[in-house]
Amino acid sequence: MIGGLFIYNHKGEVLISRVYRDDIGRNAVDAFRVNVIHARQQVRSPVTNIARTSFFHVKRSNIWLAAVTKQNVNAAMVFEFLYKMCDVMTAYFGKISEENIKNNFVLIYELLDEILDFGYPQNSETGALKTFITQQGIKGQVSKTKEQSQITSQVTGQIGWRREGIKYRRNELFLDVLESVNLLMSPQGQVLSAHVSGRVVMKSYLSGMPECKFGMNDKIVIDKQGKGGASDDAGKSDLGGGSGKQSIAIDDCTFHQCVRLSKFDSERSISFIPPDGEYELMRYRTTKDIILPFRVIPLVREVGRTKLEVKVVIKSNFKPSLLAQKIEVRIPTPLNTSGVQVICMKGKAKYKASENAIVWKIKRMAGMKESQISAEIELLPTNDKKKWARPPISMNFEVPFAPSGLKVRYLKVFESKLNYSDHDVIKWVRYIGRSGIYETRC
C-alpha cells in the first residue's frame, strides 16, 4: 500500500513528510523533487516510476502532494485517496496553500496519523474526523464514550449512512445541480463533440428517517406518463416555467449508495433515505440535446504579413431573464506579436503577452444578447517559415441553469413517525452550469 506521503511547495521544499512503511527511504523525498518538480520538461504523467518505486502526485494551486509506493497498487484508489486528503484539509482550513499548511502543521500530522495507518486508508469521512480531531486538539475525556458509540453505530447500524434520532427545528433541504459543459466546435460552426457531466449535490437537514423521492424531467419517465403529462407540483423547483414536455435523455447515471437501485431499474424512480448533511446524490452524463450557452463566432483575417485582424462575436443562447457570470474569453495570439489594439463595448479586454492571448472578461451577460470584440494584432516580421497553427478560442463562464436541460420536478419527503409533512419542509434548488473544456476552433 501507500508507503509514504509527502507535501512540497512550488520550490520543492518539503512541508510535510510521513513515511509509513520501511521500504521507502528518506531519499524517496529527494528523488521526487529532483525528477518531477525540478524536471525541465513538462509533467509527463501523474504516475512516475523511479527505481521500482511509483510516485503518484496531485497538484493543488502550487502545492504538490505525492504518495509513494513500491507495490502494484490500484491506481484509481491512490488518486481517490489523494483527492480525499485534499477535501479533508480544505474542510478544516480552507484553501490548500503553503501558508495554511504551515499554520496547521500539527493538524495535518494528526490527520495523517488517523487517516493512514501502516499505509492503509482508514477512516476518512470529514464528519467523523471532525468530532475527534479539532483545531484545538482532542476534546475532553468526558463526552468521548458517547461520541464513540455514536460513531460506531453510524457505521454498523442497519442504515449505515444515517443515524437515528436526528432532530432539527427547521427542516430544510438544498439541492445543487452542478454541471460542467464541454464543447469542441469546428471553424465552420459544426459541433464536433459536446457532453455535459453533472452532479446533484444535496444538503439535507431533516429530522428522523425521512423517505425522499426525487423527480426530474427524465425522458423515459415522461414518455411513460404519456402525452397528457400530469402537471406535477412545480413549487419552487420549476425554474424558468418550462413545460413538462422538455425532457432530457441521460446517457448514464450513478447514484449514492442510499438510493434504491431496484426501484430505479423497474420504474425509473429515485427513492432514498438521505444521509444527514451534504453528500452527492447522483452523477450523470448527457450528450444529446445540450443547450450550448454561448456561441462563439470568430473571424480572422490576415492583412499582409504584419497584421492580423480578429473579430469575435459571442452570442448568448438562453432565456433573456437569466444572467451568465464570470465570463472570460481567451483569444490566442501568435508568438511574434508586437502589439495589440483592442476594442470592445462590454467588459474589459487585455492583451497578456506572457500567455500569448487576449483575455476578455465580462462580468455578466443576459441571455439572447450579442457582444463583440475586435482586435488588431501587429506582428513582428519574421523569417520563420512556420505557419502559426491557430489554437482554439476557449471560454469560461457560469450560468444559472443546467445546460443539459435537466430540471428538478419535485423532491417529496415522507416521514411517518414524526409530525411534519412534505409541505413543512423548506426546499431550495439551484442550478450552476460551468464551462469545462469549451473550445471553438478558428
Partner 1 sequence: MPYLGGEETVRELRRALSNPNVQSDQLRYRNTILKVIRAMSQGVDMSGLFSEMVKACATVDVVQKKLVYVFLCSYAALNPELSLLVINTLRKDCQDPNPMVRSLALRNMTNLRLPSLVEYVEQPLAAGLRDRAACVRRVAVLGWAKLHNLQASSEIDAAVVNELYSLLRDPDPVVMVNCLRALEEILKDEGGVAINKPITHHLLNRLKECDIWGQCQVLRVLQRYRPQSEDELFDILSLLDASLVSPHPPIMAATLSLFLSLCSGQPAVSLAALERVRGPLLAACGSGSREMRFTALCHIQLLLRSIPGLMGAHYKRFFCGYAEPAYIKQRKMQVLVELVNDENVAMLLDELKGYCTDVNAETAQAAITAIGRIGRSYSDRCLEILTGLLGLKQDHITSAVVQTMRDLVWVCPQCSDTVCFALEGCEETLQDSQGRQALLWLLGVYGERVSSAPYTLEVFIDGVRSEASLGVKMELLTATMRLFLCRPAETQDMLGRLLHYCIEEETDMCVRDQALLYYRLLHCGIEETRKVLQGRRSDPSLGVLIGRPAEPVSQWARSFNTLEPLRQGSIETDGALNRLKQ
Instruction: Give backbone dihedrals phi and psi of 150, rounded to 5 degrees, phi first.
Output: -65, -45
Q: Which is nearer to partner 1, 24 or 239 (CB)?
A: 24
Q: Which is nearer to partner 1, 33 or 409 (CB)?
A: 33
Selected binder of partner 1 within 39, 220, 261, 368 (CB under 8 A) = 261
Contacts of 54 (CB under 8 A, 6+ apart): 47, 48, 68, 69, 70, 73
321 binds partner 1 (CB under 8 A): no
**Candidates 138-146, 308-316, 365-373, 421-429 — which segment interacts with partner 1 by CB under 8 A?**
138-146
Q: Which is nearer to partner 1, 61 or 243 (CB)?
A: 61
**Candidates 90-98, 111-119, 239-247, 416-424 — which segment interacts with partner 1 by CB under 8 A?**
111-119
Q: Which is nearer to partner 1, 392 or 422 (CB)?
A: 392
The answer to whether 130 is annotated as binding is: no
How far apart are the C-alpha atoms of 130 and 122, rounded to whole Å? 15
The answer to whether 412 is annotated as binding is: no
Q: Which is nearer to partner 1, 282 or 379 (CB)?
A: 282
Q: Which of residues 410-429 bind partner 1 (CB under 8 A)?
A: none
Q: Which is nearer to partner 1, 120 or 428 (CB)?
A: 120
76 binds partner 1 (CB under 8 A): yes
257 binds partner 1 (CB under 8 A): yes
Instruction: Give backbone dihedrals phi and psi of 216, rounded to 5 degrees, phi first.
Output: -135, 175
Residue type for 435, please?
A: S
Residue type for 265, please?
A: D
* The three-state (H, E, C) secondary structure of the chain, written as one string: CCCEEEEECCCCCEEEEEECCCCCCCHHHHHHHHHHHCCCCCCCCCEEEECCEEEEEEEECCEEEEEEECCCCCHHHHHHHHHHHHHHHHHHHCCCCHHHHHHCHHHHHHHHHHHEECCEECCCCHHHHHHHCCCCCCCCCCCHHHHHHHHHHHHHCCCCCCCCCCCCCCCEEEEEEEEEEEEEECCCCCEEEEEEEEEEEEEEECCCCCEEEEEECEHHHHHHHCCCCCCCCCHHHCHHHCCCCCCECCCEEEECCCECHHHHHHHCCEEECCCCEEEEEEEEEECCCCCCCEEEEEEEEEECCCEEEEEEEEEECCCCCCEEEEEEEEEECCCCEEEEEEEECCCEEEEEHHHCEEEEEEEEEECCCEEEEEEEEEECCCCCCCCCCCCCEEEEEEECCCCCCCCEEEEEEECCCCCCCHHHCEEEEEEEEEEEEEEECC
98 binds partner 1 (CB under 8 A): no
**Candidates 122-130, 162-170, 398-406, 420-428 — which segment interacts with partner 1 by CB under 8 A?**
122-130
Q: Which of residues 180-239 bind partner 1 (CB under 8 A)?
A: 180, 182, 184, 192-193, 195, 197
240 binds partner 1 (CB under 8 A): no
Least separation in angstroms between residue 255's CB and partner 1 is: 7
Selected binder of partner 1 within 125, 164, 289, 378 (CB under 8 A) = 125
The answer to whether 363 is annotated as binding is: yes
Selected binder of partner 1 within 61, 72, 266, 354 (CB under 8 A) = 72
359 binds partner 1 (CB under 8 A): no
Q: Which of residues 279-318 bind partner 1 (CB under 8 A)?
A: 280, 282-283, 285
Size of the site for partner 1 (CB under 8 A): 86
Q: Which is nearer to partner 1, 17 or 246 (CB)?
A: 17
Q: Which is nearer to partner 1, 347 or 391 (CB)?
A: 391
38 binds partner 1 (CB under 8 A): no
Q: Which is nearer to partner 1, 16 or 432 (CB)?
A: 16
45 binds partner 1 (CB under 8 A): yes
The answer to whether 319 is annotated as binding is: no
Selected binder of partner 1 within 62, 143, 152, 382 (CB under 8 A) = 152
Selected binder of partner 1 within 10, 38, 130, 160 (CB under 8 A) = 160
Binding residues: 348, 350, 352, 361, 363
